[in-house]
Structures are given as C-alpha cells and as structure tokens.
Structure 1
Amino acid sequence: MRISQLEGRRVALWGWGREGHAAFRAIHARLPRLPLTLFCRPDEAAAAQADAGGALAIETEASAAALSRFEVVVKSPGISPYRPEARAAAANGTQFLGGTSLWFSEHADADGFVANAVCVTGTKGKSTTTALLAHLLRAGGARVGLAGNIGLPLLDTLDSPQSPLDPQPAPDWWAIELSSYQTGEVARSGARPQLALVLNLFPEHLDWHGSEARYIADKLSLVTDAAPRIAVLNAADPRLAALQLPRSRVHWFNRDDGWHLRGEVVHRGEQVVLDTSDLPLPGRHNRGNLCAVLAAIEALGLDAVALAPAARSFRPLPNRLQTLGTREGITWVNDSISTTPHATLAALEFFRGQRIALLVGGHDRGLDWHGFAEAMARQAPLEIVTMGAGIPGQNGPRIHDLLATVADADGFGLHAARDLPEAVALARHALGGQGGVVLLSPGAPSFGAYKDYVARGRHFAELAGFDPHVISAIPGLGIA
C-alpha cells in the first residue's frame, strides 16, 4: 500500500518512537488533511502532541476495540502483531502496516521490484554488515542510501512533496538493515528487493514472535515470501543451507567454492583476496561477514575483488565490540547491542587470553542460557557480573543461578549487581588494580532499564569516564 492509498481511510499510528515519528512525518507531509490518531504510552502523550503540532488525536489505550475502529494501523516495529489486541483487531478487518512496508510500496516499479534495494538481515552482525556494504559500494563510486534498522527509518528518506526538488541524484543502491520485526513487512508490501542477504539464525526476540519457530519463519520471510531476485545465504548455517528458493537466484558465502575465510585471509574459491588481520572489524564473525558483503557485491555484477581492500578504511559502528579507551589500566569495551548469549560468546572469543570482567543480563525474553553456562565451564573470563538482581523481568538472576553451578569448578569470580552502575563498580574492583578488560556484552535487550541499547551504551561510557555522545554516532547514515 502506497501512502496515497491511505487517503479517505481511517488511519492510526501505534507507537511514538523513532519509527512512529517517521511514519507521522511521511504521511502528514503527503496527506496533510488526513485525520490521524496516535496510540502511545501515557508518558508520551504530551510530547507527541507538541511534536505533531496538534495534528494528532492522542489515545493511550490500544485495546482491541480501539484499534478496530481504524481501517489501517501503521505500527512501530517493536509492537508485535501477535499481541492479543492486534490479532483481535485484525480479525475485525483492521490492516496493520509498518514503515518498511510503506517505503517498499513507494519504491516498487510496475512489476513490483525495487531494483536497487539490497536488504540485510540475520540474528547477529547485520548492522556492521549493512554499513560495510554501503562503505564498499561507495568506495566504488556509487551513491548509496544507508538506512533501516541501523538507525535511520526508511520513511525518513522519502522526499517531502512540499519541499523543492532535491537537486541531488537518487541513490544507485539502498543498503537496508532489517530486523526480524521488519522482514515480513517487505513481503506484505507486495514488493521484491533486488537482493536479500541473510547472515545467520539464532533464537532471539521470542517475546515478540511468540516462539522460536515463528521467529525463524518471520526472519526468513525476506527470502521465502518476498522472493528477491537474488538471495545471498550463509552456507555454514544449517537452516539457511537447507532452504529451497525457486523464485530467487541463490549465491552462497562461507563455502569453499565461493567467498570464505581461511584463517584470517579472505578467499574467493582458491583465489587469495585479502588478509583481514589488520582490518577495523572486531571479531572473527565480523571478518566473516566481509565475505557475505563481497558475495553480495559480486552477485550485483560488480567487481568485489577490486573493492575488497576498501574495507581497511571502514569505521566500526558504536556499541558493537567498541573499545572506548583505557583508564587506569582497564580497557573498556561497549558491546551493548549484544542481545543474545551467542553474541556474548563471540565477544568473549575476541578478547580470549585477556583478564576480562564480563557484564551480562537485561530484559528476560526467555532465551536459553544453558549453552552459555556450559561454555563458561570450559573457558570463562576472570570475572562475571550479572545485572538485574531483585528486579522483576530481568534475566540476570536466572543467568547467575546457572553460572553458580559451574563457577566453583572453573574458578571464575561470580558477582550479582542490581544495575549497570553497580556492575561497573564491581567489575572495576574485581580486576583488582591489575588491569584488564571490562566488557559490557549483556546478551539481552535493555528494555525496562533504558530506552534502547544506545542509551545503555552511552551510560556505560559515562560510567567508564568517556563522553557518552561522541561514542554513539553512526558513520555513513543517509544518502552519500
């Protein structure tokens, strides 16, 4: 559905975060006379009214009955369509859309293709991969739009029809990061991207999706339902390796006959392409994702071998294995975006052999931490501090109980903190003035304690003695 097709319909917005703001701006700019209602939290109502200049009717209870009054509800990605009130409203005929769906509808050609859209998803590494893709394409002289879940809502990239025509040319390519909350929106738009890249699949966001099976299905809908012209898949992931995609041309990475790592060296089949040991890509998983980017660039018909060396000038993203600096012999590392135990294990692997005090715990989404505990029984950091003690809805106490069963055997220190400030103080003390690494890699979302992982990372930086705003800027967002 295009924005123009909302004309004359009863339309509401649900959610007033970054995506909600973008949806309001895009719709109101094109249909300034269309009445819009916003469903938001009570504590957001006054600010929303002010931000919208009185152009929104505000409601603070998104009940099934209230939602059912509208023909179309444009919801923010963080609001699950599987919530009972959303299901009930959908059964009554309400159509739920997201900003991703509207953007793809706006850009689709007569045959339903968005020929310059390159979409990236995966449980881990998708932000860095998307930014690296944009960086390499730009290094080759292309004009690229970097947007989506990475920090710039797609709808904020639409030109305003009320403004003068933008003299700048349209992007040659869009590099779009999509979360599992957004992948299904592409298929629902009826549009097909030029290329979809799927990195990996681990259980995540089970509270939003309702089950691991639904999470996997929703994530894979980008390739199974949206049917991109080209699908680039990780051959090392069993679920991806088993996929059959008859409507897409499939390219593989992490396979000996394609783009893959041998040690620290990127190969294309038997061809040696690039030594990654000096690249600004923290963690072997990120260096492996360079192979995914190069496979995607090659699938687009470009010279990936020639563009590969440009990875040396890539600027790493904040909150992703981000070394903030060293204070009094302690190196502070911000991996706030880590929201699964798999991501935390990858962070520990990167700093293996160093004196590490690890901070874990956050919003409990029901993920299984037994595998993490088993890994700690084999090779643990020096100290582990769990966060969320005594706070309902936090998984720190559950992680702490699991780790307590192996802590004595492996000899690592185990501490419980109520919040991040206490965890930082405990970690600093636990290292005992002998130096080391304090690693914030929580393996869980920040909900409840912080607005998002960015706010959590900023607070961590501040507690460590660094400027919280300088560390959080994402390079390359937008069109360049």
Structure 2
Amino acid sequence: MKQSKRYANEKILVLGLARSGVAAAKLLHELGAFVTVNDAKKLEDNKEAQELLEAGITVITDGHPLDLLDEGFSLIVKNPGIPYTNPILEKAIKKHIPIITEVELAYQVSEAPFIGITGTNGKTTTTTMIKQIIDTYQPNKALLAGNIGFPASDVVVKATKNNVLVTELSSFQLMGIDEFRPRIAVITNIYEAHIDYHGTRDEYVKAKWRIQRNMTKDDTLILNGDLPELVSLSQESNASIVYFSVTKKVNGAYLENGCLMYQDDKIMEASELGVPGSHNVENALAAICVTKVSGVDNESIKKSLSLFSGVPHRTEYIGTYDGVKVYNDSKATNILAAKKAISGFDNEQLVLIAGGLDRGNSFDEFIPTIERLKAIILLGETKEKLKEAAEKAQVSEIICVNNMKEAVKEALKVAQSEDTILLSPACASWDMYPNFETRGEEFVAEITKQVGK
C-alpha cells in the first residue's frame, strides 16, 4: 500500500457499515483521517460499530441524522447499497461534498494494478476463473477483491506492486468511482437489472459503463461481442477493445467447432471445461481474454479451466450419488440465469428444482427451456405459476412441494443413475430464505443428509 498523506487530518464520513464500510473506516483511520462512521442499526445490535468504537473511531448509529453533515466533512465513503435518494446523500450532494465507494478509496492507495470485472450475470464465476488461471501460471500474484466478498480496502493493505487485484464490481460500486482505472476491465454482459435502485435501464447501463471511464489506449477493455449494445458502446471508449463470442470469430476469444479459441490459437475443447453450461463457456472466454492479455500461457489456462469446479451456488458440482450428479445453482435468481444453467444438461436426464419469490413476471419465456425435462419439482410463491409453464411445456412429471427437504426427497426418488439433479430456481429466495446462499446451503445439507454421505 502507498504511504499516502492524502487524507491525513481530513474529516471523513463513512456511511453504512457491513464489510466494505468497516474496511474503509479502518483504512482511513490508518491513513490519519478523522473518521466518523454512521450506520442505521442500533449500537447494541451492531458488532461492526462496536469494533470500530473500540478502535477509537467515532461511531453514530440508529439512523442517519441530517445535521451530521454540519460537521464539515470533506468526503463521504458510502456503502454501495445505500441509494443516492437517501436524504443524507441528497443533502451531501447539495453541499457539494464528494461521495465515493470504498473501491475508489482502495484504488487511490493501491500499489497493485486492478483487473475489474462487471456485468449482469457471470461476474463472480469469471472473476474466480481469472484468479485461478493466474494462480496456476504465477502463484500468489492474484488477489480477489470487491463484490466477491473481499473488500478492496482490506486487500490493498497487504497488496504490493507485484500483485494484481482481480476485482468484481457491481453497478452500485461503480457509481462511486472517480479516479479508478483498471488496467484490464471486463463487461460480461448487460441485461435489465436493479431498476429499483437505478430507476431506469439506461441509468443501470451508464453505471456499468463507468468501469472504463478513465481507461486509455494502454488499457484493455474486454466486451461480450454477441451483444450489439456493448459493441456500439465500444466506440465511445478510449481503451483498446478485445471481444469474446460464442457465435462468431472475433478479435479475442471465441467458440469455434466446439473449441475455445484465442486469436486463431486453440486453447481447449469446450467439453473439457470443469463446469457445464453455455454461460460458463462465455465466462471462460472472458477469462481467457484477460489472462492472454496478461501474458499467461495456453497450458496454464487449459489446466486451470479443466479443474475449475465452479463457485458456490453457481452451477456448483456437489457430488455424484449412486450415479446421480447433483448441482447447486441457487444463484439463478432470474429466468435468464436458470436458462443458461439448464442449457448445460440433457433435459431428458435432468430433474430440476425451481421456484421462489413471485416478482409478478410470467414464465412463458421459460417454457422452451424446460421442455423434455425428466421431472420438475416446484416450491415457493411461484410454484403454481411454474406448474402452469411446466404443463404447457408438457413436462411428464411435475411435483409441487412445501420446502427444500421435500424437494430433495422427491428429486432423489425420481432420479436414476446417469441422471442429474439441478437446483436452479429462476426466482429470488426471499419468500423462504434471507438470501440465495442460505437456500443453496440448505439444498446441499439436505442432499448430504438424505443420501447418507
């Protein structure tokens, strides 16, 4: 980490805690700033706030008082999840107080360069693939950071100029960057998402596109060449553009005759990937672009991608029991993600577990994807809607259940040797679970319990 005096004796407000807020507060404190932390939770219910208080940092909890901004702060570092419509942020904007997210803070003091990965789907898997490939080629060089669970403000403290920060970035984080400049950036794809936060799809796209705002021709921007929107936007970037595609040959990485290629050079067979699904072919091609631009050899890429077993809750291979393969794709919180996961399997030997929070959408677009399924097991608020879609798709066995325990029990009854059980809900988890991770963990626990292994 750079020994920066930039924030020494500056009064800075860290708004919102969780992991990123704690990391930002500690880093600013170490840099000599006068830090005030403000979090909506009450102090007695707020272990993070108590920890910072013990470290000598000023902590204000139980709401966001507007008069707090009368303290003369020169900067606000906000939790990415707090919208700019929050009254305290609206007041800060009127007072012309700069607002950043902690990834910007980390960038400002980092000795290590950044690889930034964003997109609607595939960010975490692509980020993890890149890290593992670099590890295979040069152990201990790559450090995971960002939205993947490792706040960049924590990671930069131990990073040196010999490291590289492989950083997953959300649209929320990117709205709060200023100087941030990744040497390599990836946009895996852009679809409609987070409209409740951004207001419109255009604003969401603008937030994602900010990843390249400070890049120059000496930097590389890697884009999904199958999305006309991104190809069009590429004309607005100063970065050098490299594409990946599953439909055509491009200047970069592409799928050709079942092979993953880079600039006319065969890397590996797509069938050799350690994880199934067309979406993982896309993720792998994006990772190939990043690592080839970084100078990694083909053998290291092939070895790493062949051994890649997935990320927890993202088409994660759980095991094979009496000849039945089991995958956990709890992260498939929308129809598009589930469609991509299902595409990696033979429907006639697939037992799908789906359902969850009802967001008011229909499942008509899901019908072609679930045709010829061996069975579909449905739970949650959407089970009746999904049942209608499954009937239209003429799925021969449709089973509605009340909970994950029953879902796993029925799946294990139906599945035979050479079949696959896949949890890919196509819905959010909040009707039954606090998050998709808890849903996936219960699925894995029930599989383990019921197969007796």
**TM-score normalised to structure 2 length:** 0.83
2:170 maps to what in 1? 179
Flag the 1:27–1:136 CA change in 2: closer, same or farther, 3 A.
same
Q: Are 1:136 and 2:129 an aligned pair?
A: no
Alpha-carbon deviations, 1:10-43, whole Å to 9, x = none?
4332333221222222222333x72423213238
Task: Pick from 440, 457, 464 the counterpart of residue 447 of structure 2.
Answer: 464
Flag the 1:67–1:448 CA change in 2: closer, same or farther, 3 A.
farther
2:38 maps to what in 1? 38
- Contact kept in structure 2, 1:73 and 1:94, CA below 8 Å: yes
Q: Which is bigger in relative contact order (C-alpha 8 A, separation at least 6)?
A: 1
Aligned-residue offset at 1:56: 3.7
Alpha-carbon deviations, 1:285-310, whole Å to 9, x = none?
2123222222223334x254343322
Q: Are 1:226 and 2:214 an aligned pair?
A: yes
SS at match of 1:158: helix
Flag the 1:13–1:375 CA change in 2: closer, same or farther, 3 A.
farther
Flag the 1:330–1:135 CA change in 2: closer, same or farther, 3 A.
closer
Q: Distance in 2 between matches of 1:445 and 1:42?
A: 28
2:153 maps to what in 1? 155
**Aligned residue identity for 2:60:** I
Q: Distance in 2 between matches of 1:57 and 1:299?
A: 44
Aligned-residue offset at 1:46: 4.0
2:393 maps to what in 1? 410
2:226 maps to what in 1? 236
**Aligned residue identity for 1:337:** K
Flag the 1:252–1:409 CA change in 2: closer, same or farther, 3 A.
closer
What value does the CA root-mean-square deviation take over the aligned residues? 3.3
SS at match of 1:181: helix
Aligned-residue offset at 1:259: 1.6
Give % identity.
22
SS at match of 2:236: coil
- Contact kept in structure 2, 1:82 and 1:209, CA below 8 Å: no
Task: Pick from 54, 57, 60 the counterpart of residue 58 of structure 1.
Answer: 60
SS at match of 1:295: helix
**Aligned residue identity for 2:180:** A
Q: Give structure 1 stretches of 5+ with no counterpart.
A: 109-113, 160-165, 390-395, 468-480
Flag the 1:448–1:154 CA change in 2: closer, same or farther, 3 A.
farther
1:253 maps to what in 2? 244
**Aligned residue identity for 1:195:** I
Alpha-carbon deviations, 1:439-458, whole Å to 9, x = none?
33234454576554333322
Aligned-residue offset at 1:102: 0.3
**Aligned residue identity for 1:201:** I
2:114 maps to what in 1? 117
Aligned-residue offset at 1:375: 3.5
Task: Pick from 422, 429, 432 the counterpart of residue 410 of structure 2.
Answer: 429
Question: Across the two proteins, how many residue pairs are aligned to each other?
Answer: 433
Alpha-carbon deviations, 1:142-179, whole Å to 9, x = none?
622222212211111132xxxxxx7x954342211112
Q: Distance in 2 between matches of 1:156 and 1:39?
A: 19
**Aligned residue identity for 2:352:** A
Flag the 1:22–1:377 CA change in 2: closer, same or farther, 3 A.
same
2:77 maps to what in 1? 74
**Aligned residue identity for 1:42:** K
2:18 maps to what in 1? 17
Alpha-carbon deviations, 1:77-106, whole Å to 9, x = none?
222224455334422334322111101111
Q: Give structure 2 stretches of 5+ with no counterpart.
A: none
Q: Distance in 1 between matches of 2:370 and 2:38?
A: 49
1:375 maps to what in 2? 368
Q: Distance in 2 between matches of 1:196 and 1:357?
A: 35
Alpha-carbon deviations, 1:250-285, whole Å to 9, x = none?
112214143211243112344433113133133222
- Contact kept in structure 1, 2:117 and 2:169, CA below 8 Å: yes
Q: How does 1:277-316 map to 2 (within 5 A)?
A: 277-300=271-294, 302-311=295-304, 312-316=306-310
Q: Distance in 2 between matches of 1:44 and 1:337?
A: 32
2:96 maps to what in 1? 93
Aligned-residue offset at 1:222: 0.8
1:352 maps to what in 2? 346
1:27 maps to what in 2? 28
2:192 maps to what in 1? 203
Q: Distance in 2 between matches of 1:265 and 1:77?
A: 39
SS at match of 1:182: helix
- Contact kept in structure 2, 1:80 and 1:208, CA below 8 Å: yes
Flag the 1:447–1:222 CA change in 2: closer, same or farther, 3 A.
farther
**Aligned residue identity for 1:463:** E
Q: Distance in 2 between matches of 1:292 and 1:410?
A: 33
- Contact kept in structure 1, 2:354 and 2:423, CA below 8 Å: yes
Q: How does 1:266-285 map to 2 (within 5 A)?
A: 266-285=260-279
Aligned-residue offset at 1:425: 1.0
Aligned-residue offset at 1:411: 3.0
SS at match of 1:192: coil
**Aligned residue identity for 2:231:** A
Task: Pick from 303, 311, 320 the counterpart of residue 314 of structure 2.
Answer: 320
